[in-house]
Amino acid sequence: MRKIAVVSFQGEMPCFVHALLNVWNYHERGYEAAMIIEGASTKLLSTIADSPQAKLWQKIKDAGLIKSVCKACAVQMGSLTEAELQGLPIDSALSGHSDLEPFTKEGYEIILF
């Protein structure tokens, strides 16, 4: 089975939504899919549940596809508490940031958004 890790960095909602759509598409097509939320995209954790894409966000969370939220970036963007309230996995293994190496070690292809 192919493995895909979608890494969202951009802070604009359209970019984040494209990352969500792609991770869900890979998941539905049978890939082992993972989403890593980094950079400015962490600020969107506070608003995605109230957006038109709330149902997609909930499906992705329910499927366990969110594998990492960068702690340092979430702190910087003011969304760490929201990430914790949503029960998202917080990662600070790489000097406070999400570590991509475990994903490549497990054979994931990395796609950046």
Q: How confident is residue 58, by pLDDT bands cut at 50, 70 and 90?
A: very high
Instruction: For domain 3-112, give the fold.
Output: Hypothetical Protein Ychn; Chain: A, (3.40.1260)
**pLDDT one-digit tens code per residue, 22-43:** 999 999 999 999 999 999 999 9
DSSP 8-state assignment for residue 94: B
Q: How confident is residue 69, by pLDDT bands cut at 50, 70 and 90?
A: very high
Cβ atoms of 5 and 65 closer than 8 Å: no
- Determine the residue type at 70: C
Q: What pLDDT score was predicted for residue 12?
A: 96
Kindly report the pTM of this predicted structure: 0.95
Distance CA 47, CA 98 (A): 21
